[in-house]
Structure 1
């Protein structure tokens, strides 16, 4: 079971298997990746003979044959041209030539199984399981932000030990660590460490330096860095590198390793057939697609290179009804006592599995007269859809893991290592389940279909309405609800003896909708925050205290926002503690006053005021002199590489300025900060705490002024 696979330029493949005594390599020189060409439309008859003959004579093609394959889940076996290629890097260029080699209309011909990542393709086609057979050893390499973008490093941290000095000193230390630890995985703060170290060795004349386990290849570049935009958000994809015999995890370009841990990564490796290195840099959708491709492969279904699914015809009225999201009950702004939160367990994935919502069975021809999806009139075939087979094992596995976590925590002496493993695996599966619904409506999804997206939402709306009706009939008042969660408090107009037990109600609702309704939490109180500049409730901004616990649950407000400086976060948390203890706005304002005094007396450490913001465009793309622009100018001045989609950290030192002097970068020596700017941020954070009680920013600032005037007068009297 190889944990990583390398592809050499001469066509050889190296499978690396982890053992208790180190990794061993197995060479293969007979691997020939394959793609397919077939008719895009089942009603179009294409003669593949000419294309077969042309590919057969191509110097990069090893073999060709006409085979029977299913070009889609809704299609039976059809003739397809299979093309075996001499090297994995030649698959995409050869597929592009399909229309150049034969004069078929562009819409008639389609290529399949083309854009697979290299290691995933190998595991899929050779039926290899990339789950490591032994525990993987790891070595961590870090550089400080001041070294990013530099041609040579003067400081580098290896396995927690920092080394500074000349290039020779750093290279010697890294090489010694590699030989001592012999890591299976290199965890790098940025993958640029790999080419930079080798370039440093070349420049310093160090001939025997290498991070690789294979003597002939030091490293390979797999992809260049790029900037992309997804749903209006700019992201940065760093360059990707490969070191033979070792998997690379780039902390600046990993979702699952960052959000979970290595155990979470390895759980998904076993389900997706994507080895560690590819799994680490993959997005949620990429991993979900890989799991779907494995299911398609088992069913003999080819994977389209480019998605071309048309939307089924529907009347305008149906389009209007279908184009809606989940159901929402606007939150009642204010502070509510004795609140219970109930959540449907993995609602959308369970809707898919219990209602058989899958692209291959929705609006099937065999049941076109049925009205299965509420409000939309869509039929769903009785045959089980492939998406159910993909998701049900994940749902079941996560339920088992969550049960194991509860049992482990209930022990007198919980095994922390075991808990870390279980929580990592649970977190990884959660992200797949979270994404599976939205991916059905994603235009680039390999097997998605917008009708599935619409049907899932329709079922979800009906389920939440059913829960609301049953809860209200049982003597509970709904104060908020959104998609799969609902908050209730005892209805004051219903006598206690007439109110139905919440656990009993949840069980009854579970039985009716066939999806488990779980009691998520009981709160002593919950406060729902209004929208900025509006009295309406913000859907995802609330906070409260869990009954019988000192724990706060916080969503949406500053303490949960990644850009918030630690000082602002801490003050907001202190304000929440005051509100919990006193229910008094005055106590919260006292906390604010104290924080403002600390700001203006200069006693707040500057490291506690660091903001972290995402850069959305290159420096020359900005037209306004924002704080980000000032920070980018300082970074440019120091030759630091900050790309669109990456974060930049700084402290605001003079917000009145528009030049680079407006901010100082977090790693610089900072002597002062703009107290007035951070006071404004504090007031904004406290407004989030007090707005459920009817206070807005204007009232808070007025109270601050009225408090300060007597203080100033008293100060003047004492010193007169």
Structure 2
């Protein structure tokens, strides 16, 4: 089976199969991608024959036919118009013309199987599993940040080995690595490496023999640009999608534009390739929702159901009371702020996916017309007895992840665990975890191909009932709940219950599992756990806590600075040191001693600047900012150095003088940074230590006051606790 597919401009398709000797291409010149046109609803009267005649006249249409398909899961087979197109890049354009070519109102026609990615479409229509037949070989190319926007590289890393010199020397080194390794996958720090290297080759003056330079395995095409860069907004967060490139015969993994490869590994990517039928290159740049949608599309395809271009599912009618009851999320028990000894954490295994599978929650069966039952607690929604398609999508993934987790536990328990095997299993488990995490939220996503808000509401309703059931059982068994959120619950022995009368957690977990039909697992035992209050309130922060894992030399940390990607390494390390000190002494004063030591190093100028790097996301172009923030100063420096940073990308810098508003306020991480602003980083340290001590009643004012007794502070130290920037 091919692991990557290339589409040439003349309509030919290249299927690349990984073989023992490298890769072999099979040419096809008869591929005609297909989309469908149908009435939007069964009641709409559309003359498909007339529309077919119109399409037949179009020069980019190869053929048409009227076939029977299911336009939706809740509709039976109906006549639809199938349109075969000359080239995969013409599908969307011709689908748009459906409304122009017909005399019917826009709302009467619907197009299906339109917006598929190219390689995924090819695999789906031809029944090809793009999982490679052997292990894929890789070659990593990386350029330093200052050169990312350059037209000519003077430095480039090849599999970790740095090459410097003239364009000819760099190109020769890359070509030598390609010849020696013949990689199936090119892992690039940025996709721009592809056009830049070929541009350097085209501009070379013959200083070395590079006439034959190419990244491609196909002699006629060096590379193709598949998409231009773009900026987008998702759930209020700005993101950046860089330009995408294709090299015939090799898959490109752009490290600046990959989620699954970055969060898991190649084994995790390949596991999802086999489930989604999105080849390696497309899987690497795809979002979680995009991959989940591909898996759903495969299930729909197997059932003869077409995939809508635009989602148009209306929300079912609900009375006001039902709207009020349904518009809620998962259940939350406010955390009991403070330090708690002997705490146990219990989690429901893949709660939302298991609710879908055990309760048959699926868009095609919820609120069916064949039953009038109150299946969903508190909402009164009925769920059909017929098996929903979403169950068939998720159940294999849930079962596979359970098996992989069991294999991981078994491997770790061996005296001599196989590290490579363990890494492969963890990559697969991580990839499946992200799909399962997303499956619930995607039901409420307005652009989801098959989502339905009623599923989202039903899953939450079941989850609330399940967590309340667990709370009642645990409390009845002699345990006190100190926190709970959606699928996790933290308990400690109830001091008012005698130890001899307290039911073992293992017994209670088994009873809860049997009662709710979702496995309740003992996640961890902590010597102690501290729940952190909100910054400007005594109420507990739902996702900020830390604790010492019993019997292990480790902490579990969630939400505080050491877990935040933007936190400088030095700040995170000091916070962890403070946690260690707090664990041993339970003394705020001992933690302050650790802070004082860090402050001495900070003000002495002995902290390496590379450990003070801030990482912040850019939300708009430089001209869009109205305040002189640190990001603005950093963007000014990148512009000065011809480094392109787009909205949605991350920028890295060290704060050198936070009192300034010019570009001198910061220095970019790759620059030769000789100094930093100790007062700014002191504020960051105090905030980090406040997170550690706030559960025992200390805030920034208390910390500053205690520090004032041992060191002389300036007045400015007391107003720097405002949020930076």
Shorter-chain TM band: over 0.9
Match of 1:51 in 2: 51
Pairing 1:291–2:295 present:
yes
1:634-653 Cα offsets, whole Å, 9 max, x none, are 11000001111111110000
Partner of 1:134: 134
**Superposition deviation, residue 464 in structure 1:** 0.2
2: distance between equivalents of 1:559 and 1:249? Answer: 29
Q: Which residue of 1 aligns with 2:716?
A: none
> Does 2:367 match 1:363?
yes
Question: Structure 2 matches for 1:153-192, cutoff 5 A?
Answer: 153-192=153-192
Cα deviation, residue 142, structure 1: 0.1
The answer to whether the Cα contact below 8 Å between 1:327 and 1:464 also exists between their aligned partners in 2 is yes
Structure 2 residues not aligned, in runs of 5+:
714-725
Provide the rounded CA distance (Å) in 2 between the counterparts of 1:270 and 1:304: 23
Task: Give the corresponding residue for 2:719.
Answer: none
- The separation in 1 between residues aligned to 2:712 and 2:384, in whole angstroms, is 74
Is 1:509 aligned to 2:515, yes or no?
Answer: no
Contact 1:541-1:555 within 8 A present in 2 as well:
yes
Contact 1:4–1:275 under 8 Å retained in 2: yes
Aligned match of 2:467: 464
**Alignment partner of 2:570: what SS?**
helix
Distance across 2 between alignment mates of 1:478 and 1:409:
31
Other structure's SS at 1:309 match: coil
Deviation sequence 1:118-163 (CA, Å, 0-9, x none): 0000000000010000111100000000101111111000111111
Paired position in structure 1 for 2:147: 147
Instruction: Please show how residues 142-541 of structure 1 align to structure 2 within 5 Å.
Output: 142-205=142-205, 206-367=210-371, 369-541=372-544
- Asked if structure 2 preserves the Cα contact closer than 8 Å seen for 1:20 and 1:135, the reply is no
CA distance in structure 2 between the aligned counterparts of 1:153 and 1:420, rounded to whole angstroms: 34
Distance in 2, Cα, partners of 1:83 & 1:465: 53
- 2:701 matched to 1:698? yes
What is the rounded CA distance, in whole Å, between the counterparts of 1:169 and 1:207 in structure 2?
Answer: 13
> Number of matched residues?
709
Q: Which of structure 1's runs of 4+ aligned residues deviate more than 2 A?
A: none
Q: Distance in 1 between matches of 2:674 and 2:226?
A: 43
**TM-score, normalization by structure 2:** 0.97
Q: Cα deviation per residue 1:207-266 (whole Å; 9 max; x = unaligned)?
A: 321100000000000000000000011110000000000000000000000000000000
Q: List per-residue Cα deviations over 1:393-428 (Å, max 9, x = no partner).
A: 000000000000011111111000100110000000
**Residues 571-607 of structure 1: per-residue CA shift (max 9 Å, x gap):** 0000000000000001000000010011111111111
For residues 88-109 of structure 1, what are the alpha-carbon distances to aligned partners after superposition, in whole Å with 9 as ceiling and x for unaligned?
0111111010011011011110
Q: How far apart, CA to CA, are the structure 2 residues paired with 1:351 and 1:331?
A: 25
Shift of 1:49: 1.2
Q: Corresponding residue for 2:578? A: 575
What is the CA-CA distance between 1:28 and the residue it aligns to? 0.7
Conserved 8 A contact 1:332-1:537: yes
2:722: which partner in 1?
none
Counterpart pick for 2:661 among 653, 658, 670: 658
Aligned to 1:124: 124
Listed as ranges, the matches of 1:27-42 within 5 Å are 27-42=27-42
In structure 2, the residue matched to 1:672 is 675
After superposition, give the CA deviation of every residue in 1:653-682 in whole Å (9 maximum; x if it has no partner): 000000000000011111111000000000
> What is the CA distance between 1:516 and its match in structure 2?
0.1
Stretch deviating more after TM superposition (614-623 or 45-54)? 45-54
Change (3 A) 1:58 1:702: same
Residue in 2 that maps onto 1:716: none
Q: What residue in structure 2 maps to residue 543 of structure 1?
A: 546
Q: CA RMSD in A?
A: 0.7
**CA–CA separation in structure 2 for the residues paired with 1:591 and 1:122:** 60
* SS of match in other structure, 2:168: helix
CA distance in 1, matches of 2:416, 2:610: 37
Instruction: Find the aligned partners of 2:34 and 2:280 in 1 and give their Cα distance.
Output: 23
Aligned equivalents of 1:10, 1:167: Cα separation in 2: 32
- In the other structure, the counterpart of 1:70 is 70
**8 A contact 1:266–1:276 mirrored in 2:** yes
Deviates more, 1:150-159 or 1:681-690: 150-159
The corresponding residue for 1:9 is 9
Aligned counterparts of 1:43 and 1:609: Cα–Cα separation in 2: 65
| Matched residue SS, 2:518 | coil
Structure 1 CA distance for aligned equivalents of residues 494 and 643 of structure 2: 59
Alpha-carbon distance between aligned partners in 1 of 2:262 and 2:14, rounded to the nearest angstrom = 28
Mapped to 1, the partners of 2:18 and 2:253 lie a distance apart of: 17
- SS state at 2:709 partner: helix
- Quote the offset at 1:45 in angstroms: 2.2
C-alpha distance in 1 between matches for 2:99 and 2:415: 67
Distance in 2 separating the partners of 1:649 and 1:544: 30
1:707 deviates by 1.5
Query: How many Å apart are 1:709 and its aligned residue?
Result: 5.0
Distance across 2 between alignment mates of 1:42 and 1:530? 55
Q: Distance in 2 between matches of 1:125 and 1:668?
A: 51
Q: Helix, strand or coil: the match of 2:27?
A: strand
Contact 1:64–1:82 (CA under 8 A) maintained in structure 2: yes
Deviation at 1:391, TM superposition (A): 0.1
For residue 720 of structure 2, what is the aligned residue in structure 1?
Answer: none
Taking the aligned partners of 1:660 and 1:120, their CA distance within structure 2 comes to 46
1:297, CA displacement in angstroms? Answer: 0.2
Q: Aligned residue for 1:718?
A: none
Residue number in structure 2 paired with 1:715: none
CA distance in 2, matches of 1:429, 1:671: 44
Contact 1:141 1:186 in 2 (8 A): yes
For 1:302 and 1:207, locate their aligned partners in 2 and report how far apart those are by CA, in whole Å: 48
- Structure 2 Cα separation of the partners of residues 670 and 123 of structure 1: 50
2:721 maps to none
1:586 aligns with 2:585: no
- Distance in 1, matches of 2:211 and 2:195, equals 15
Q: Deviations over 1:456-496 (max 9, x none)?
A: 00000000000000000000000000000000000000000
